[in-house]
Amino acid sequence: MTMLGLPKKTEMNKQLPKKVIYEKFKMNTAAKEKFDGDIKKLSIINEISPLTVNVEKGKEISNFFVLRVSLKNKDFDEINILLISKLIEQHMIFVLEYEDQASLAVYQKRLHQSHWQPIQTLEIKLSGLNLDTIWENLLIEIGGIEIENGNTLDEQLVIDEVRQKLEKQIAALEKQARVEKQPKRKFELVQQIRSLEKKMEDTNCGYIKTPQA
């Protein structure tokens, strides 16, 4: 078994030069410097498929890869991970490494990331009879996603995304209301907050309503 607890047969070592990303997205000097400021080195280290592990391919997923991302900063810009996922256009589990710490991440609608832990304790657990199920279980575990009210994973991701946007809008309005001096404007802000809180309640009950900007 490898360091990640994956079968030896899954191992590979394909370096991914950063210049490939620069050229693909026609990055200017500032964008290159920003990417280089976060990312030290990239390499594809595992392939999970019916040829490398004893599982069936899924209806949606026939294989996926594990990519090691050596970071220069722990507080990296998520857009850089998004660029990598767009470049490869495959289902991908990221192993983010910074010094002696590591974290698993996957980009689906947004970046889902596990907690940081010592590199030697990091594992990728393959749970399921086919690759669709394995992928869903990994995403749920990495992102700490709680499936509610019998939702599918995709439905839950949409609900969580709506909920997160509402929480940000409510927090911004509450901050604005606290410093507002004009009573009329303060009242308007409070009404907006109550409206968003009602949408949050609907979302928590399973009714998805897209919040207004």
39-59, pLDDT tens digit by residue?
Answer: 999 999 999 999 999 999 999
pLDDT recorded at residue 70: 96
- Tell whether the model's pLDDT for residue 3 goes beyond 90: no
Average pLDDT over residues 128-132: 93
Q: Mean pLDDT throughout 120-149?
A: 89
Q: How distant, in Å, are the alpha carbons of 56, 59, 67, 121, 139 from that of 47?
A: 14, 18, 9, 20, 17
Domain ranges in the chain? Answer: 8-143, 153-204
pLDDT digits (tens, 9 = 90+) for 175-213: 999 999 999 999 999 999 999 988 877 776 554 444 343
Which one-letter DSSP state was computed for residue 145? Answer: -
Identity of the highest mean pLDDT range in 96-105, 164-173, 189-198: 96-105
Q: Which are the contacts of 28, defined by CB distance < 8 A and separation ≥ 6?
A: none
What's the average model confidence in pLDDT over 108-128?
91
Give me the pLDDT at residue 211, please. Answer: 39
